[in-house]
Structure formats: structure tokens, C-alpha cells
């Protein structure tokens, strides 16, 4: 095998491992939903999500979402947030032209599913 092929294979392997870790963090850490909670969203939970290659936004229509919890990945105690009337924002699938670092990057807490944003 040529050295160029082996280098390309090594770079691809590092890329694959890195993106897998990034996706695992984005859906666990940003969500902060207790993995033991089988119903973190209320039955009437509803959102509208609009996205293009540069920007995405989610608007909460109805329902609640419960973050954290005793076994949750972030904090204790659990917090239940109404999503109706709340907005969430994220970078689109293109991100910036310089790199792929910010592709689909969440700008507010709970994106892209739960537009919880901040709560009081």
C-alpha cells in the first residue's frame, strides 16, 4: 500500500471517530434529559421547526419538557419547562464556509427538539 493511501485512511478514521463523539455529546449534553425518564415530553408536546442551510429555528406550540433529574446528565432537581411561545436557534447544515466545526451547532439550550431556552 502506498503511504498516501495509508495517510488518507488514518485521516478518515480520525474523522469518523471524532464525528461520532461529537454527535453523542450533542444529543446528550445539550438536551440534559434524564435517560431514565421515558416520557420527558408531555403528551400534548408540539413544535414547529424551520431550517435552511444557514440558520434553523424551533418555535414551541404546546406542552412541556422535563430537563435534568436525579439521574440526569446535568443537574438536580428536575425542571419542567413550558415550550409554548419559546424560540430556539441553531446554525444550519452549512455552518460557516471556513470549516465544518459549527455545522448544526445549537445556539440555545435544548435545540433542535426542545425550545426550552432559558427558564425562571
User: Is position 97 within any domain?
Assistant: no
Grid coordinates belonging to 89: 436557534
Q: What is the pLDDT of residue 24?
A: 38
Q: What is the mean pLDDT of each run of 10 residues along the chain (120 residues)?
A: 57 46 41 81 93 91 86 75 90 81 84 71
Q: What is the pLDDT of residue 26?
A: 41
User: Is position 3 within any domain?
Assistant: no
Strand order in the sheet with 46-51: 46-51, 55-62, 87-91
Classify 32 in phi/psi space as left (phi over 0), alpha (psi -120 to 50) or beta. Answer: left
Q: What is the pLDDT of residue 95?
A: 79
**Which H/E stretch holds residue 48?**
strand 46-51
DSSP-assigned states of every residue in 52-102: -SSEEEEEEEE-EEEEB-TT-SS-SS-EEEE-TT-EEEEE-SS--SS-STT
User: Is position 56 within any domain?
Assistant: yes
Number of separate domains in the chain: 1
Q: What is the pLDDT of residue 101?
A: 82
User: Is position 37 within any domain?
Assistant: yes
Q: What is the pLDDT of residue 60?
A: 92
User: Is position 52 within any domain?
Assistant: yes
pTM, to two decimals: 0.63
Q: What is the pLDDT of residue 96?
A: 75
Query: Could you tell me the residue range of the domain that residue 57 belongs to?
Result: 31-91
Q: What is the pLDDT of residue 17?
A: 44
Amino acid at each position: 500500500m502506498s503511504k498516501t493511501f495509508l495517510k488518507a485512511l488514518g485521516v478518515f478514521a480520525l474523522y469518523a471517530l471524532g464525528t461520532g463523539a461529537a454527535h453523542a455529546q450533542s444529543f446528550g449534553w445539550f438536551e440534559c434529559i434524564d435517560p431514565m425518564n421515558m416520557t420527558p415530553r408531555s403528551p400534548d408536546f408540539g413544535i414547529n421547526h424551520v431550517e435552511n442551510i444557514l440558520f434553523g429555528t424551533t418555535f414551541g406550540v404546546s406542552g412541556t419538557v422535563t430537563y435534568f433529574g436525579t439521574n440526569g446528565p446535568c443537574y438536580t432537581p428536575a425542571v419542567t419547562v413550558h415550550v409554548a411561545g419559546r424560540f430556539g436557534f441553531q446554525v444550519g447544515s452549512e455552518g460557516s464556509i471556513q470549516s465544518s466545526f459549527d455545522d448544526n451547532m445549537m445556539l440555545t439550550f435544548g435545540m433542535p427538539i426542545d425550545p426550552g431556552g432559558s427558564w425562571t
